[in-house]
Structure 1
Amino acid sequence: MRVRTVQLTGAAIAALLGVAAQAQVATPPAATAEETGALEDIVVTGSRIRRDPLSQSAPVQVLDSASLAQTGLSSVADILQRIPAASGGLNSRFNNSGNLGNPPDGGGVGAGSAEVELRYLGSRRTLVLVDGMRFVNGSSASGIPASVDLNSLPAGMVDRIEVLQSAASALYGSDAIAGVVNIITKSEQAGLQASAQYGQFRQGDGATQDYNISYGIKGEATSVVVGVSYVKADLVSTADRPLSQFPNPGATSCLQGGCSGATPLGQFFLSPSQVLTLKAPVAGRPRFDATNPTGPNSDFKPFTTGDRFNFAPFNFFITPSERYGGFVSIKQALSDRVNFRVKALYNRRNSQNQAAFLPLFLGPDAGSGTVTDTFSIDATNPFNPFGVTLSAGGPGEPPANYGFIARRVVEAGPRSFSQKVDTMSVTGTLDGAFDVGARTWYWDVNAVLGYNYARQVFTGNINTSLLRQALGPISQCTGACVPFNIFGGVGSITPAMLGFVGFTEQSRSQQKLNDYTANLNGTLFDMPAGPVGFAVGYEHRNQSGSFTPDPIVEAGFSADIPARGSSGAFKVDEVYGELRVPLLSDIPLINSLEVDGAIRYSKYSTFGDNTTYTGNVLWKPFSDLLVRGSYATALRAPSIGELFGAPSRFDGGAFDPCNDINGTLPGNVPASATVRANCIANGVPANGSYAVDAAGASVVTGGNINLQPETSRTIAFGGAYSPAWARNSGFARTLVLEGSYSDVKLDGAIASVPADLTLARCAQTGDPLSCGNIQRTPAGFVGVVNGILQNIGGIRVKAIDVNFTYRSPETSVGSFGLTWNNTWLLRYEESVPSTGGFTVIDRTGTTRGSPVQSYPRYKANAILDWAIAGFTASFTGRYISGVTESANARRLNRILYGDVQLGYTPSFLDDRMTFTVGVNNVFNSGPPPCFSCTGPNFDPTTYDIPGQFGYLRVALRL
């Protein structure tokens, strides 16, 4: 791609020091050659035909390097997630590595990764390109993700980012349903560029260091750019913010709910339904009164809410990471019509996540889905105080006489997940031009080879095969075996015991991409309104991926989340064509009128063939006004993880309506007769004994080889107005008003039915399909909910974007700019199957807790900036409207963030150095508390963590 930033954005917009990464860049349809420089027909994101970049068929946002630096953030994903049309994705505020298991999307947790998604359609439906070509998907040793990890790109190589907010499968193939993010890397540079930034939160944590240096040689025939980047971000602990010090927002004790039943003292669920805990930490074997387990001679007492364990302060608000990498770009003119470019990059990411001490659950009602559900504790275990074998009721054993034991293994320390991720990519491009008569046609052939390899080390786990031996008959605990004390309270699990049963889990995953493309474009013939343009091309792509868990985990002997290995591959061959036809020009009310369209045929090795197409109409009634409309179909092929991923568990904490059907717990009311009858039919004891203070549910998710591609259609229309009178009168160098409407209808969405919906539908309607997907333990607890991936239904999204950009001329008091970007979410609905039809879930204006995501009706960013004589100042306001929690109808208030930045480029240093200071969240706005979110009590896809973040930066050009 040969796109000068000034051409894409307009010189005035690119000069806006205050246009941060949130800016919606509406290229002025009436911009003049004097403003933009001499225009040339070039290739821009959203079309493969060379064209005037000021007549885009779809809105394209352009974020140049100055815009990226303006935010004070060190992650490209964090910057992109501030765009009003963006809707989250993984980022540094996600701490889940494996402590909650694998989200039901087939791709694993993606710990430490960073992603971008548009229109709330998921990162898998936003295509990420690098220089117009595909990039290898990420992996984090927890599965086979379907998205690019933006943390795998060295930040110093990024020249600018183009964001196309329109379906584009006809041009780029699979995944471009919500839009395209095209990251343009540095291809030319003269001299040295370097920057160093340090920042931290006002609380003194979360320190971030960001260093970039690149050097370029720019000759007549040869351009070389080399560079290195280093980013180090320290953690922020949930213990250091009041919002997250307990599982429920603002709580000061476990009496306010949310804490875990797996306690350091232990919880013992006996038969019939007697729940005990230890009174106090004791060493060795507890005393037990056989006639009265809670009598005066016993160290046990009835379990209460106050005995629960507060796991919240052991998590991370921001996960620590270290990223370093390098890149090289060499561009050589082989002749005056042929060029060759080769790019290579390497990036290493070291990251970490943390969870509280391992919760160990044993017994038939544990519902862990592991072999610990079948554990019996032998009477000869020297620490068993009950004098009899606690039987799980397995083959050859006495009938079950206990429900479960829950013990928090604090002696092993917090669970720690450390990732090392290596990414390598090499791209070769040969391009040129040749004449066909009086016309010039352009061609290019490309090869992309990408590799991503991840290793994860997990400490704090237990080998359950050895644990069974240590809990079983003392006669079988020989050799290295050390009898295990699960009854003795804090400190009773000794280092020797842990040395026998504990292990360090090591898992790995990898993804590979081989992508080969060839493109040809030019003009065919002239019509009265202009030349007819065309583009054609071919692509062949091979993708493969694998996930290899630790052998102990693979064998089913992990006390933490179970996992199985998986691998798979697919290949695809595609051809496309694009045509641009100018119909009319220079007549009343039609300054210009053109249509263009594209079609792509794809043949996949996994499911067969597919055809997508798009059509656009561009009309300029007069030179200052552009009106456009489009209709596009798109697809997303099932990813490797979605097709071949092995079953795995996700502990999302789904609400079970069958818990406490008699209403015996404080604050609960008896269930209706219908719910009671349906719950009993599903396996809940009729006597109401299934009544626990906190009842969640695990989902079993996994790939499905029978998946078909998702398909969508998008209708969009809008326009841009840039009045010449404003420029001619000296009122503005740039004045642009742009608006667009989009309607996306997605069919055959690949997902699992939400566990909350499955449980609710079974309890409320007795739906056979839902009830059949729920497995309960003998005591009524939810064991697992079947959430295997399927083409479940559809998603419908409607949105409006309105954006305003103003840049003043130079005055005696400097120049001013204002950019105001707005997105209204008009509709977001999901449809999922039920017996005899579909259930439609309207999420507009709501927050869902698992997987966490908010859907605010309105988001806006406004940037006001000022520049004079080397000084710059800007203020960015970020507004998010209020939402309602779906699970409990609680209202999450609207929020306004404010960011301030000051810069100085001294003339006495020949404008070679720039000093910048900034504060993000200057108002110290805290995220609205969320009770149902499976994160640290707020939605990290939408809101910043509490605290002001200040930073200093020095940039140098030589």
Structure 2
Amino acid sequence: MKLRRSSATHLRALLLLSSFAVSVPSFGQTQGFNAEEDASAARASDIVVTGTRIRRAAAESPSPIAVVNADQIKATGTQNITDVVNQLPALAVTQTNQTSNLAGNAGINALDLRGMGTQRTLVLVDGRRQVAAIPGTSAVDLSNIPSSLVERVEVITGGASALYGADAVAGVANFILKKDFSGIEANTRYNASTRGDMDTYGFDMLAGANFADNRGNVTVYGFYENTPGTVSGSDRPWTADGYPIYSRADSSQRYVVQDHVRNINTSDSAQVVLGGQLYAIDRDTGALRAPILGPGGFVNARPVDLDTSTEPLGTLLTDGGEYNGRYDGWFLSVPSRRINTRASASFEVSDALNLFANATYADNASKAGYLQMTAFGTDVVPADSPFITDEIRAAAGGSVPAGGLQFARRFMELPAPRTEYDRTMFQAVAGAQGDFSLFSQPWNYSAYYSYGKTTQRVRDVNSTAYDRWYLGLDSTTDADGNAICRSTLDDPGNGCVAINPLVTLTPEMIDYVTYSTHASKSTLTQQVVSGYVSGGLFELPGGAVQLVMGAEYRKERNDIGAIPEYDPDSPLFDPTIGTTAGTLVGNYSVKEAFGELHVPILKAVPFFDTLSIDGALRLSDYSTAGRTTTWKVGGEWAPIPDVRFRATYGQAVRAPNIGELYTANSISGLWITDPCNDYNLQNRVERTEYTAANCAILNPADTASYWLYRDIISSGNLELKPETAKTLTVGAVMQPRFVPGLSLTVDYYNIDLRNAIDAFGPQTLINKCVDQPTLDNIFCPLIERDENGNLESVASQKLNLAQYLTRGIDFGLGYSLPLENVGLGKGRLSIDANYTRLLKRRYTLDPDDPNSVTEYAGVFGSPKWKGVVRTSYANEGFYFTWTLRHFSPMRSSSTVTAEDYEDVYTPDVFYNDFSLSAPLTESIEISGGLNNAFDRKPPRIPGAEAGGANFELSYQSGVYDVIGRTFWLSLRFHR
């Protein structure tokens, strides 16, 4: 059955590709063009493409390059260029407005080529480095590059590290902006969902003028966009109406999907188990009452024995009633406000000297939203607390256990917690470029200086101070019978407020456990000086041998600030919150020399229409990581003009960035579970044959508690070394002359990354410690246990340990047909199909442990087939586009297999987007569209209902659309 599903999926994808074998262009490989005459023009002219600094025809690029042009950007109706570029099959789900609520750094929009991580994707603007948006990282926020300013985007997915340096392990995305603009263009946009939310308002204006007989140009740009409203899990039926889980009655059965379940601990009213029976406590009076269950009552596939279960409140499920949704309060898409301005100028003194300069300022504000505090059933009201009523004692058989009364509840009376982000970015570039002759060959040069600064401010609003919470929860009575905190007996002036969690919290209690902070301030400054010369050396039968030589110096400094209330060195430090964070200053510099060589051996001879080889080399000297060498070699062979073969092989090196090296020590709390507790020893799927023996050695005293709230200590690692990847691409380009305008491409890629710098989640570190053959491993020193063997804290830092291996095949098809050529009237039909077949995405946590290898191909975020097909019709200013996006079946986890599960995969999911534009006058154009036009809902496979949440390969929720159908309208004025 598994083979049949896989084969069917392959067949569907191949049929879809072949059915569009009459198709379009530049959203895919550069070999596809909008028209036959466009292709001829492109072949005839020499331009610079992202895959090389050598001036050559785009169709002869040595590496596969995907291109998104301005028309395709406009057809999406979004100002966020990330939403457009992420549709390319080579891009994995990463930081977007739909995923960044839980991923952290809300409002950041970044790219992740091949699923290798945003830190391994280099973003350029006009071929120059862009300053990162998050201090301590290399992640560029693409929302600082408004889509209406972009002329095209070129994405090269292999062999780019030698050309452009570190961070290009997986590839490069180069955003080419509109330049030398003359005239005025203004756009106003309105976007919203068809459910009456997600309102977005945007306006931008571009104006430019030439002077000095068109030798000079000045262009200015301004942009404003605001999405003020919020969309949370309670606003969509697929996240509000319970959620699907895998369940089974006993181990002899396979797991099946059980839908619409709700946890008992999500009620607004406290839930307690007394005398083997579940009770709810009235929030206003404190009286016991029967819980309001869903129509199915308790729906656990394996019934929970309330008399013997140690944690019934954490495991009981129902299908409705008074219980809330799992995702209530979580933002499905973060609100944001963006402002961007840019000014550029250029002046051609002569052919040999063209001066240019530009400056960009961006201000982005966003916020993340979370659920109010939830007690999951392990929190306890002490047995001597005055808040335990006589009714509760009577229902418990006369007295509550000596360990206290366990309860579960969601505290909806608490204000909704938020994290607010405000980021400003300034970058200025000045340089010169020009043409000259050398060795009787044309040469050119380009040099620039760039200064960039990012400032990020972060504050927490309405957060819960868990240290205060547990102090307040530990209540007793004073000599007069008044409720007080137990800690107050020893420290009368500590300000602790005794908390009664069984009823609605009083304003005094709420004020005590919640807090809002001042903002932290972190800055990143980047300076780059870079230049190169390029030109011909001598002639060979295939043409002139082309050489590039260049050098670059880059210096970065990070001043990482801390929220004052978390910083022990700040006068505003509040130790009762339970979170600490320090400040630091980190910096590094790198000096680089690079070169590139293109050797055209033969041209226009039998069996060798073209034959050439290419090479590139980059030597780097980091102040932190020492010297590194990056290189690549490649070649092209076209036996006839219709078919061209290409290949590149190289070594990519990435040095650790400032955040990985210097992250300031911070301590925060997190709910974790001990793999040595009774439940995990019996049921944790990832446990190994060594787990039980290792746990016996550790011998924790507490094996009953499941969830534990413990300290997580995060820090940088100055011992990190560079990571190294070997990259290979092999492909072919077919442009048959008997079908003018048709382009077909196929490229195989393979990236093998070793000694990868990676952060392992605290739970992963805890599990891996006891899953190894012995406790003498690299993970256990990061785990702190007390004298009784119980978990106390986890130290989380990045290590040079992991391995990534990803390989697959990219398919591109483009065709553009003038309809009058086939007697169908005026206009042009264009179709563009791009698909990727993911063959492998293997992640090895610990190369010394054969059990730590995980295959993620086919898991959420890594579909085996991902594609986008755009069909367009254009005629005299009228433009219509249909975009079809496809994800092949995926499963929620690598451990979900057909042997143990009945419903393993989601179905094939297709999204349909439609857009059209039409001129109203010569200067005014109106356009609009529908995205996810048929309101395709997320599949009902566990995790997919929230967008494809995957906790194995970092949390992400943007695989499936969780917003639903949206529409947009735009009015454009140009003159």
TM-score interval, smaller chain: 0.7 to 0.9
Secondary structure of 1:340's match?
Answer: strand
The structure 2 residue matched to 1:637, chosen from 645, 652, 655, is: 655
The question of 1:871 aligning with 2:894 is answered no
Aligned to 1:571: 589
The structure 1 residue matched to 2:960, chosen from 929, 935, 943, is: 943
Distance 1:937 1:632 in 2: 34
Aligned to 1:804: 813
Are residues 409 and 548 of structure 1, via their aligned partners in 2, closer, same or farther at CA, if it must alter by over 3 Å?
farther
Alpha-carbon offset, residue 250 of structure 1? 8.6
Aligned to 2:910: 896
Distance 2:554 2:867 in 1: 39
Aligned to 2:833: 820
The question of 1:681 aligning with 2:709 is answered no
Are residues 264 and 772 of structure 1, via their aligned partners in 2, closer, same or farther at CA, if it must alter by over 3 Å?
farther
The structure 2 residue matched to 1:923, chosen from 934, 943, 949, is: 934
Are residues 336 and 926 of structure 1, via their aligned partners in 2, closer, same or farther at CA, if it must alter by over 3 Å?
same
Aligned to 2:443: 441
Secondary structure of 1:748's match?
Answer: strand
- After superposition, residues 284-363 of structure 1 pair within 5 angstroms as 303=313, 305=316, 310=325, 312-359=327-374
Secondary structure of 1:643's match?
Answer: helix
Q: Which runs of 5+ in 2 are unaligned?
A: 1-20, 247-257, 289-310, 391-401, 473-483, 569-573, 898-903, 950-955
Secondary structure of 1:918's match?
Answer: strand
Aligned to 2:131: 136
Alpha-carbon offset, residue 454 of structure 1? 1.3
Distance 2:73 2:35 in 1: 27
Alpha-carbon offset, residue 650 of structure 1? 8.6
Question: 1:590, 1:621 within 8 Å by CA — same for their partners in 2?
Answer: yes
The structure 2 residue matched to 1:93, chosen from 76, 94, 98, is: 98
Q: Which amino acid aligns with 2:621?
A: K
The question of 1:857 aligning with 2:864 is answered yes
Question: 1:568, 1:640 within 8 Å by CA — same for their partners in 2?
Answer: yes
Residue range with higher mean Cα deviation, 301-310 or 926-935: 301-310
Question: 2:558, 2:585 within 8 Å by CA — same for their partners in 1?
Answer: yes
The question of 1:791 aligning with 2:805 is answered no
Q: Which amino acid aligns with 1:924?
A: D
Distance 1:774 1:434 in 2: 63
- After superposition, residues 293-692 of structure 1 pair within 5 angstroms as 303=313, 305=316, 310=325, 312-359=327-374, 410-462=412-464, 471-474=485-488, 483-495=496-508, 498=511, 502-555=515-568, 557=575, 559=577, 563-648=581-666, 658-661=676-679, 676-685=692-701, 689-690=704-705, 692=706
Distance 2:792 2:505 in 1: 29
Name the Cα RMSD after superposition. 4.1
Question: 1:741, 1:801 within 8 Å by CA — same for their partners in 2?
Answer: yes
Distance 1:823 1:897 in 2: 17
Distance 1:435 1:359 in 2: 72
Distance 1:159 1:584 in 2: 34
Alpha-carbon offset, residue 657 of structure 1? 5.0
The structure 1 residue matched to 2:209, chosen from 211, 217, 223, is: 217
Aligned to 1:245: 240
Question: 2:694, 2:774 within 8 Å by CA — same for their partners in 1?
Answer: no
Question: 1:29, 1:626 within 8 Å by CA — same for their partners in 2?
Answer: no
Alpha-carbon offset, residue 868 of structure 1? 3.0
Aligned to 1:5: none
Alpha-carbon offset, residue 937 of structure 1? 6.2
Question: 1:157, 1:327 within 8 Å by CA — same for their partners in 2?
Answer: no
Are residues 302 and 637 of structure 1, via their aligned partners in 2, closer, same or farther at CA, if it must alter by over 3 Å?
closer
Are residues 285 and 782 of structure 1, via their aligned partners in 2, closer, same or farther at CA, if it must alter by over 3 Å?
farther
Secondary structure of 1:883's match?
Answer: coil
Are residues 263 and 767 of structure 1, via their aligned partners in 2, closer, same or farther at CA, if it must alter by over 3 Å?
farther
Are residues 698 and 865 of structure 1, via their aligned partners in 2, closer, same or farther at CA, if it must alter by over 3 Å?
farther
Aligned to 1:290: none
Alpha-carbon offset, residue 819 of structure 1? 1.2
1:832-884 per-residue CA deviation (whole Å, 9 max, x = no partner) reads 2266667321111123xxxxxx2111111112222334432221111110112
Distance 2:788 2:404 in 1: 10
Alpha-carbon offset, residue 782 of structure 1? 5.4
Q: What percent identity do the matched residue pairs reach?
A: 26
Q: Which amino acid aligns with 2:96?
A: N
The question of 1:195 aligning with 2:204 is answered no
Alpha-carbon offset, residue 439 of structure 1? 2.6
Question: 1:277, 1:303 within 8 Å by CA — same for their partners in 2?
Answer: no
Alpha-carbon offset, residue 153 of structure 1? 2.7
Distance 2:601 2:107 in 1: 51
Distance 2:792 2:914 in 1: 50
Secondary structure of 1:737's match?
Answer: strand
Q: Which amino acid aligns with 1:794?
A: Q
Secondary structure of 1:891's match?
Answer: coil
Question: 1:125, 1:178 within 8 Å by CA — same for their partners in 2?
Answer: yes
The question of 1:58 aligning with 2:58 is answered no
Alpha-carbon offset, residue 941 of structure 1? 3.4
Are residues 485 and 303 of structure 1, via their aligned partners in 2, closer, same or farther at CA, if it must alter by over 3 Å?
farther
Alpha-carbon offset, residue 160 of structure 1? 1.8
Are residues 738 and 714 of structure 1, via their aligned partners in 2, closer, same or farther at CA, if it must alter by over 3 Å?
same
Aligned length: 868
1:757-794 per-residue CA deviation (whole Å, 9 max, x = no partner) reads 55555565654235555456799875555442101131
Secondary structure of 2:47's match?
Answer: coil
Alpha-carbon offset, residue 35 of structure 1? 3.5
Secondary structure of 2:933's match?
Answer: coil
Report the TM-score when normalising by structure 2.
0.80
The structure 2 residue matched to 1:905, chosen from 919, 923, 926, is: 919
Are residues 676 and 38 of structure 1, via their aligned partners in 2, closer, same or farther at CA, if it must alter by over 3 Å?
closer
1:798-826 per-residue CA deviation (whole Å, 9 max, x = no partner) reads 11011111111241433211111110001
Residue range with higher mean Cα deviation, 82-91 or 786-795: 786-795
Q: Which amino acid aligns with 1:954?
A: L
Question: 1:196, 1:211 within 8 Å by CA — same for their partners in 2?
Answer: yes
Are residues 671 and 622 of structure 1, via their aligned partners in 2, closer, same or farther at CA, if it must alter by over 3 Å?
closer
Alpha-carbon offset, residue 155 of structure 1? 3.8
Q: Which amino acid aligns with 1:316?
A: F
Secondary structure of 2:97's match?
Answer: coil
Distance 1:882 1:482 in 2: 55
Distance 1:896 1:922 in 2: 11
Are residues 780 and 560 of structure 1, via their aligned partners in 2, closer, same or farther at CA, if it must alter by over 3 Å?
same
Are residues 672 and 167 of structure 1, via their aligned partners in 2, closer, same or farther at CA, if it must alter by over 3 Å?
closer
Distance 2:514 2:708 in 1: 29
Distance 1:921 1:838 in 2: 40
1:665-695 per-residue CA deviation (whole Å, 9 max, x = no partner) reads xx99999997555434344458x634x4x78
The question of 1:115 aligning with 2:130 is answered no
Question: 1:750, 1:792 within 8 Å by CA — same for their partners in 2?
Answer: yes
Distance 1:17 1:207 in 2: 37
Q: Which amino acid aligns with 1:448?
A: S
Alpha-carbon offset, residue 276 of structure 1? 10
Alpha-carbon offset, residue 561 of structure 1? 6.1
Question: 1:477, 1:483 within 8 Å by CA — same for their partners in 2?
Answer: no
Q: Which amino acid aligns with 1:689?
A: A
Distance 1:412 1:21 in 2: 51
Alpha-carbon offset, residue 411 of structure 1? 3.9
Q: Which amino acid aligns with 1:809?
A: P
Q: Which amino acid aligns with 2:835?
A: N
Residue range with higher mean Cα deviation, 527-536 or 593-602: 527-536
Alpha-carbon offset, residue 750 of structure 1? 0.8
